Structure 1
Amino acid sequence: MNNGLYLYGILPAPISEKVVLLGLDEQPVQNYSVDGFNFLYSTAKQEKYLTSRRNLLCHEKVLESAMNEGFCTLLPLRFGLVVKTWDTVSDQLTCPYKEKLEELFQKLEGRREVSVKVFWNSTSEMQALLESNISLKAKRDARLGKALSQLEIIEIGKLIESGLQLRKEAVINVFRSQLQVLAEEFVENDIMTEEMIYNAAYLILWSSESNFSETVEAIDQKFGDRLRIRYNNFTAPYTFAQLS
């Protein structure tokens, strides 16, 4: 059953017919031009697609495969975008946002998005905080095994929380000071887990990625086992391809 068209992204030029890509529901990915913009799409077999890991990875794989085929500049579309006809695309996207889409292509030309996510072990950090702060450790140790009042519990909790925040900011400032100067733009995103302390995307020149990754590696070496750094150097530029 055909429920419409599933859209993956927009390219500056048609992708070669020799490039074979499979999209959602194992449907072949094709190219269609609307108002001068080239869309990657496949036949939609569902009216709505579940936001599952499998479907998300498939969506991303189509975009990354196109990038691997030489389309380094593309505008990714959000997961789950299904339309009935190409007229809908023209009426709601390419006509009203033609200039903005062209501006985005110019902005992304020769540039790539990379991301850095930083994690730490909060339990280890709290222990390190206490070891480095003798007065705080003594205050906590003196009250171990004692019945504490609500105010005493709150006081110690606030002191530990404040100390952890200072340690966190010191780490984050290293990433900010060394990575932001290498990027043309950057966006700091929301923290997604309790152990994550930093989550940022950077727009950099394709030619400068090796320098950027070496800087991330140097920071990683600086902190050793204290941090876990997840660096993604090849992803569709969702962060910097937003229609405002």
Structure 2
Amino acid sequence: MSLGIYLYGIFPEAVSENVILEGLDKQTVKSYSLDGFNFLYSEAKQKKYFASRRNLLCHEKVLEEAMSQGFRTHLPLRFGLVVKTWDTVNEQLLVPYKEELEALFQKLDGRREVSVKVIWNSQEEIQALLESNPQLREKRDAMEGKTLKMEEVIDIGQMIEKGLQVRKEAIIQTFQDELNGLAEEVLENVPMTEEMIYNTAYLIPWDSESIFSEKVESIDKKFSDRLRIRYNNFTAPYTFAQLS
């Protein structure tokens, strides 16, 4: 029994029936055309989908498999979007946002989203900071084993924090200098964890990804084992497909 229509994304052309995709609840993914827009959807077997890892990955996989089959340009829809009828889609999405959707298709045509996340080890960075700053290290060492006043604790903490900030900014500047010029748009997002110092999405020409990837690898080698870099070169363009 169908409880509605589960939507994955919008494409400028119909996805061929030869592209067999499996969606949530192991339902066959189909394409439906509405006023010039083509929606990937499957029958919803639940009124509301829990944002579990399995469900989220399934949603992403549908879009990524469509991309891998040559349907690159698309507007991904947020996870968990279930509607009752296609009339609802038309009234709430196409009628009010048709021009914006068409503009987004034009913007994304021939382009792809890639992302870079940078993680460091803050404790190792503190140690490296102290090793590179003898005066700060001596001041820190002189305080060990002593009962410190609150202002002394604050003072040394602020000095270390300032030093870490300088080191962090130097790393970020390297990524910006090397990568920003290769992208048509850059969006820096809030880091997801305390140890993540850089979280950025780039909109680049589809066929220039190999050049971008080589740059990321070059930066990785430059910092050796100091950083962990997570580079995603194949993902639905959520960051750059936002309606205003």
- C-alpha contact 1:10 1:76 (8 A) present in aligned 2: yes
Measured after TM superposition, the shift of residue 34 of structure 1 is 1.2
Q: Which residue is equivalent to 1:202?
A: 202
Fraction of identical pairs, as percent = 71
Whole-angstrom CA distance in 1 between matches of 2:37 and 2:160: 54
Measured after TM superposition, the shift of residue 19 of structure 1 is 1.2
Q: Which residue is equivalent to 1:97?
A: 97
Whole-angstrom CA distance in 1 between matches of 2:56 and 2:196: 22
> Residues 194-233 of structure 1: matches in 2 within 5 Å?
194-233=194-233
Whole-angstrom CA distance in 2 between matches of 1:155 and 1:47: 55
Measured after TM superposition, the shift of residue 105 of structure 1 is 0.5
Whole-angstrom CA distance in 2 between matches of 1:5 and 1:157: 55
Question: Cα deviations across residues 193-222 of structure 1 (Å, max 9, x unaligned)?
Answer: 111000000000011111100000000000
Q: Which residue is equivalent to 2:121?
A: 121
Whole-angstrom CA distance in 2 between matches of 1:20 and 1:143: 66
Q: Which residue is equivalent to 2:33?
A: 33
User: Which structure 1 residue ranges, 5 or more long, are not aligned?
Assistant: none
Whole-angstrom CA distance in 2 between matches of 1:177 and 1:124: 25
Measured after TM superposition, the shift of residue 83 of structure 1 is 0.4
User: Which structure 2 residue ranges, 5 or more long, are not aligned?
Assistant: none
RMSD value over aligned CA atoms?
0.6
Residue identity matched to 1:200: T
Secondary structure of 1:145 counterpart: coil
Q: Which residue is equivalent to 1:86?
A: 86
Whole-angstrom CA distance in 1 between matches of 2:201 and 2:19: 29
Residue identity matched to 1:230: R
Residue identity matched to 2:81: L
Measured after TM superposition, the shift of residue 151 of structure 1 is 0.8
> Residues 36-185 of structure 1: matches in 2 within 5 Å?
36-185=36-185
Measured after TM superposition, the shift of residue 18 of structure 1 is 1.3
Question: What TM-score results when the alignment is normalised by the length of structure 1?
Answer: 0.99
Secondary structure of 1:16 counterpart: coil
Question: What TM-score results when the alignment is normalised by the length of structure 2?
Answer: 0.99
Whole-angstrom CA distance in 1 between matches of 2:7 and 2:88: 12
Whole-angstrom CA distance in 2 between matches of 1:202 and 1:48: 32
Residue identity matched to 1:173: Q
Q: Which runs of 4+ in 1 moved over 2 A?
A: none
Greater Cα offset, 11-20 or 118-127? 11-20
Q: Which residue is equivalent to 2:189?
A: 189
Measured after TM superposition, the shift of residue 12 of structure 1 is 0.8
Residue identity matched to 1:128: A
Whole-angstrom CA distance in 1 between matches of 2:17 and 2:174: 46
Residue identity matched to 1:156: I
Whole-angstrom CA distance in 1 between matches of 2:182 and 2:15: 31
Secondary structure of 1:50 counterpart: coil
